[in-house]
Amino acid sequence: MNGEAVGFSKVSFAYGDKKGKRTEILKDLDLSIGEGEFISLVGVSGSGKSTIFRLITGLEEPASGEIRLHGNPCSNRLGMIGYMPQRDLLMPWRTVRDNAALPMELKKRKQHDNQPDLDNMLTAFGLAGYGNAYPGELSGGMRQRVSFLRATMTGADILLLDEPFSALDAMTKLFMQEWLLEQWQLKKKTILFITHDISEALFLSDRVFILKETPASRLEEIKVPLGRPRSHQDAGRPKILQLKQAMIEGFRKQAMP
């Protein structure tokens, strides 16, 4: 593994309600993700996946413990991480180009100074000729490409993708998974990916982290036994199918103790 991109040391976090009741989500959690890795987080709803994302982005702060970015303790993480939500959240009144350029505007970088780069990125993301189109004119897959481009235009080396393909039809989802791997291999970013789809996690990832308990004090780690590059045909290999079945059985026991 290369240098560390994201690290947690003994991180604890709890949510409180208006009555003062606290619900522990993470307790003394350790986590280490290498530079350039593709990691998937899998777990039942409410197990802490999105909380981990919110902590990494700086939208939440831990009650205790340390969060590191690129090996260094980091208490001010806002704006340092690229984030792609489950819904594309594109602004319907802005063109594809203007939606993609939003991170540059927020960082007060002049768009015209970056226009050649943005046009090149539109081409690289399969959006050539759509720069002046509006979100309502795009397919679901193309909207997700714009959303991923917007996350990339933050300039961040770490990208968090929160179930970005869950709303797509099955065929488009397969195409988008392969496209995402192509982009990841070209850009060499570190990607953390939340999904409820075990097949998706195994196809995309170097490692899969499973959240099995609340509060989460440890993550079960599965190293995916596939090389790179890979295709969906590789997902049908016996060792991957066996691993998928074992994961399904594990979640079944978790849901029905």
> For every one of its 257 residues, what pLDDT tens digit does the chain have, with 9 covering 90 and above?
579 999 999 999 998 766 667 889 999 999 999 999 999 999 888 888 999 999 999 999 999 999 999 999 988 888 889 988 888 889 999 999 999 988 888 776 544 444 547 888 898 888 999 999 999 999 998 998 999 899 888 888 999 999 988 888 889 899 989 999 999 998 889 999 999 999 999 999 999 999 988 899 999 999 999 999 999 999 899 999 999 999 988 888 776 65
The CA–CA distances, whole Å, from 179 to 33, 107, 166 equal 23, 28, 15
Q: Can you give the pLDDT at residue 114? A: 45
Structure tokens at 74: 């980091």
3-state SS class at 205 = coil
End-to-end CA distance of the chain: 36
- Alpha-carbon Rg for the chain, nearest whole angstrom, is 19
Instruction: With beta carbons less than 8 A apart as the criterion, state whether 155 and 103 touch.
Output: yes
Domains and CATH numbers, the chain: 1-78+190-257 (3.40.50.300)
Nearest to 26 by CA among 5, 71, 56: 56
User: For residue 119, with 0-12 CB atoms within 10 Å meaning exposed, 13-18 middle and 19 or more buried, which class applies?
Assistant: middle
Q: Can you give the pLDDT at residue 111? A: 45
Q: Can you give the pLDDT at residue 2? A: 74
| 103 C-beta neighbours (distance < 10 Å), count | 18
Which strands make up the sheet holding 190-194, listed edge to edge? 82-84, 158-162, 190-194, 38-43, 207-211, 220-223
